[in-house]
Structure 1
Amino acid sequence: MMQLLRYGVVGALNSGIGYAVIFVCMGVFGWRPVTSNIAGYAVGIVISFVLNRNFTFRSIGAAGGELRRFLLIFALAYLANLAVLLVMVHWVEMAAGWAQVVAGVVYFVLSFVLSKYYVFADRSQQRGGRRPDRA
């Protein structure tokens, strides 16, 4: 349960910083919205990976492999989010605001589960190795 709470805290912090980057890029640097959005998400992905790796899941795995898996699950969770959003709006005819909430929940749950059991999974245990104890 603590991992889920930490994951939520990281997500909130990450979102705040990502939006700050987006608005600074637009307001201070005069960048276009799409360019600013890309910059904000790029910063957000880096922050999310570092904090989730070190704070949420306290991983000691190989960072390179975890980063590749993290980018993959980010793309999968985003595509699932988009698919749910489109289904809710166009087929279920749910109000767009509520559809965003449902799609966001799908993204959050899917990304947490995939991060826990795929990206930052304890691979030493899966191979029969022994992992050093952590404080």
Structure 2
Amino acid sequence: MVRQFVSSGSTFETQMGYSRAVVAGDWVFVSGTTGFDYSTMTISDDIGEQTRQAFANIAAALEQAGSRLDEVVRVTYVLPDGGLFEQCWPAMRDAFASARPAAMMIEAGLASPEMKIEIEVTALKGSAA
């Protein structure tokens, strides 16, 4: 099985030696993704907006990989402040209204203090209902 690497164009991928996503067969593994808006090179202070932007970044990676959000089967959320998690729920509901993936939330530090959420997903191509 040949791997396909998906890049967001972020310099971090080259500097740190990882891919935004890796496709192996019908599986798509998307790296932890934050709410950084690459078009403006900014990140919002609002966790809800960061969550929406993270999902936009994930959707773009999935599209490059030949998949989409409604094929996500597993998601992990990482927040430095778990008390803010409920503020992410509207964006999560919008992103996964049909996929309803298995999920987990972890409270842990992130790479930069302005990052309030990081999201990692696994999708299975062709699994959408």
Q: TM-score range by the shorter chain?
A: 0.3 to 0.5
Larger helix share, 1 or 2: 1
Q: TM-score scaled to structure 2, two decimals?
A: 0.36
Q: TM-score scaled to structure 1, two decimals?
A: 0.35
- Greater relative contact order (Cα 8 A, min sep 6): structure 1 or 2? 2
